[in-house]
Chain A
Amino acid sequence: MNATEYVVRVRDVVKEYEMGKLTVRALAGVNLDIIRGEYLSIMGPSGSGKSTLFNMIGGLDKPTSGSVFIDDVDMAQLDAQELAYLRCHRIGYIFQTFNLIPVMTALENITLPMIFAGVTADEARERGVELLTLVGLGGRVQHKPTELSGGQQQRVAIARSLANNPSIILADEPTGNLDLKTGKEIIELLKRLQTERNVTIISATHDLKMLDISDRIVWIRDGRIERLERREDLDLQVGEVEGVSG
């Protein structure tokens, strides 16, 4: 086994969008290797290509050229069924707006990806309760999303993202709709899961609190990686940090 194992490899990814007669280049050749088990934050202003890169890594969008590999699988080569399999088993998604299925209880939300994966109802239930307990909501199994606070909904969403033991968790502005304190709790929870369960967490964010716990931070600007920093090197540049994300 290699000393550093890469769970995601992004190679020369270019993404262009047609907007009427205009071609907009959202990503202009991005290369990035994400280490298994690390906490990586993708930072960048609106329109920087941050979301586009995020979508590419999550298999939600295909590059115009270049490749994205997850667990050494080139996503461009996958058909719809294989892509669904990948999303179900290998990737866990966390959204800014939580995105729980409103008609389902907390437990049903968590077990849905397991049922897609063919896990039996009994086992799914058992694992679902276990995951809810893990995120501190053991007593809210039968609650509907509307009966939960924002922070609790995001906890359910985090539990759901872990449903099928994915290799990576993609978190899109996970604290964007939460107040400061709740946001901090969610960040701490993500960090705990990363260290305890050795999950790779990739997060697109504006939240500076997130930098503090990230292993590495990728700065995107004008469709390119502006710089890639390790947390240890970060405190030297706090002034710049605030300037960029403000």
Chain B
Amino acid sequence: MNSTQPESKTIRKQIKLPLSVALRISLQNIKIRFLRSMITAAGIFLGIAFFVSVRATSLMTPATNPGDTAAIEAANRQTWLVVMSLLMCTVGITNSMLMAVTERYKEIGTMKCLGALDSFVVKLFFIESSFLGFFASVFGFLGGFLLVFLLNLIRQGGEVFSVIHWGAVFALFGISVSIGVALTVVATILPAIRAAKMPAAAALRVEV
């Protein structure tokens, strides 16, 4: 006890959460609530799969004639649908992450009692959602692309291989994963702020 005496009047500010620990906690959080996490991820998965299927279809069919107004209009309508579906899945993720915050009030409060800063809590939520966003987008890409590819393979036969530009497919992969992760992160802003504002005293609450 004597050893604590000299420093007893100084309050320092060194509190840290190493990234490796944050990653482990976030991954465990996903694992332990696997079904819930998968449902959250399903929103992004479906949104990205739809986006990819629309884009991949245009990659596998011959270019539209610039004068064909009906085709251009159809393409515009599809873009509108894709944007709407992505927005919908963003709202869905915000909703389920908000529920996750409410569900974990005690855990968040406890972490703060142990010395966690608001920023740690924010970090954990963003890591968790980025993970979900990333994997859901990768699988969303695979799902959407393979579906369209198989349909075209049946319709066009081997010809589809000559139409596909693999560089464009790869670019589409990059774009869809970026969109997926970006949307998940945006969707987590509000829940993460809500979690960060959770008072440490929430840990003591007994009622559900």
How many angstroms between the C-alpha atoms of A165 and B204 in the bound complex? Answer: 22
Does A116 belong to the interface (CB within 8 Å)?
A: yes
- Contact status B204-A60, CB under 8 Å: yes
Query: A160 and B25 in contact (CB under 8 A), knowing A60-B199, A85-B11, A88-B15?
Result: no
Contact string against A for B residues 168-208, beta-carbon threshold 8 Å, 1 for contact and 0 otherwise:
00000000000000000000000000000001110110100
Chain A residues engaging chain B, CB cutoff 8 angstroms? 51, 55, 58-61, 71-73, 78, 80-82, 84-89, 91, 93, 95-97, 99, 101-104, 112-113, 115-118, 160, 163, 165, 167, 172, 198
- Contact status A116-B13, CB under 8 Å: no
A88 contacts which chain B residues (CB < 8 A)?
A: 15, 114-115
Does B110 belong to the interface (CB within 8 Å)?
A: yes
Pick from A82, A99, A163, A198: contact of B203, CB under 8 Å: A99
A87 contacts which chain B residues (CB < 8 A)?
A: 112-115, 200
- Contact status A81-B13, CB under 8 Å: yes
Smallest Cβ-Cβ distance to B114: which chain A residue: A113
- Contact status B204-A104, CB under 8 Å: no
- Contact status A103-B29, CB under 8 Å: yes
- Contact status B203-A95, CB under 8 Å: yes
Does B162 belong to the interface (CB within 8 Å)?
A: no
- Contact status B110-A99, CB under 8 Å: yes
Cβ of B124 to closest chain A Cβ, rounded Å? 11
Cβ of B87 to closest chain A Cβ, rounded Å? 31
Q: How many residues of B contact A (CB 8 A)?
A: 37
B112 contacts which chain A residues (CB < 8 A)?
A: 84, 87
What are 19 sample pairs from A and B whose C-beta atoms fall under 8 A apart? Answer: A55-B201, A55-B204, A71-B8, A82-B12, A84-B117, A85-B12, A85-B13, A85-B15, A87-B112, A93-B113, A95-B203, A97-B106, A101-B25, A101-B107, A112-B21, A115-B17, A115-B21, A116-B114, A167-B8
- Contact status B201-A73, CB under 8 Å: no
A95 contacts which chain B residues (CB < 8 A)?
A: 110, 203-204
Pick from B109, B201, B203: contact of A61, CB under 8 Å: B201
B106 contacts which chain A residues (CB < 8 A)?
A: 97, 99
B31 contacts which chain A residues (CB < 8 A)?
A: 103
Among residues 118 to 173 in chain B, which have CB atoms less than 8 Å away from a CB atom of chain A?
A: 118, 120
Among residues 21 to 66 in chain B, which have CB atoms less than 8 Å away from a CB atom of chain A?
A: 21, 25, 28-29, 31-32
A71 contacts which chain B residues (CB < 8 A)?
A: 8-9
Pick from B15, B117, B201: contact of A117, CB under 8 Å: B15
Cβ of A46 to closest chain B Cβ, rounded Å? 11
Query: A97 and B32 in contact (CB under 8 A), knowing A85-B12, A113-B115, A167-B4?
Result: no
Smallest Cβ-Cβ distance to B202: which chain A residue: A60
A167 contacts which chain B residues (CB < 8 A)?
A: 4, 8
Q: Please indicate which of the listed interface residues B11, B120, B199 has the most CB atoms of chain A within 10 Å of its own CB.
A: B11
A58 contacts which chain B residues (CB < 8 A)?
A: 113
- Contact status A81-B203, CB under 8 Å: no
How many angstroms between the C-alpha atoms of A113 and B110 in the bound complex? Answer: 11
Contact string against A for B residues 85-110, beta-carbon threshold 8 Å, 1 for contact and 0 otherwise:
00000000000000000000011011
Cβ of A77 to closest chain B Cβ, rounded Å? 9
